[in-house]
Amino acid sequence: MLSSRSMDPASNFCIGTSGYSFRDWVGNFYPPGTKSKDMFALYVQQFRAVEINFTFYRMPTAKTLEAMARQSPPEFAFWVKAHQQFTHEHDLKGAKEFLEALEPMQARGRLGEGGLSPGQRAPGVHDLRRSRRRAHAEFGGHNT
């Protein structure tokens, strides 16, 4: 494990990882025997930011994101990966609900700069300006 928090309070840099719940980290980063349910609590002791990956695969709920915000220190920042429905299928239905789920983190000021990570880009997506304009229009002016 790292010996100190991964951010110099005097700097503007915040170090974290893309995700935090990986079985192969047990014994290397997390203590041997660590259960998945305990990983986030241990992670926030070492880092001050994380990109939440599960939101790429399943829509988040406000309840889940609120719990994560409560379980982390006040200075901890989250970047939330956009759901694959938006990034790969170009289907922005459900964008309003997705953003509503982010409200608990946004209300606490816990979303990192921009807050919404564009996620993985689908193969063949080349016109990023057009994709960003569509997302901006659908997401109602939220920082994307």
Sketch the domain layout of the chain as residue ranges. Answer: 16-138
Tell me what percent of the residues of the chain surpass a pLDDT of 90.
43
Kindly tell me if the per-residue pLDDT of 69 is higher than 60: yes
Are the C-beta atoms of 138 and 92 separated by less than 8 Å?
yes
Q: So what's the pLDDT on residue 49? A: 93
Kindly tell me if the per-residue pLDDT of 9 is higher than 60: no
Average pLDDT across the chain, whole number? 79
| Domain 16-138, CATH | 3.20.20.410
Model confidence over 38-59: pLDDT tens digits?
999 999 999 999 999 899 899 9
At 103, which amino acid appears?
E
Spatial CB neighbours of 142, under 8 Å, sequence gap ≥ 6: 99, 115, 116, 136
Are the C-beta atoms of 131 and 125 separated by less than 8 Å?
yes
- 0.75 surpassed by pTM: no
Name which of 1, 41, 48 is nearest 21 in CA terms. Answer: 41
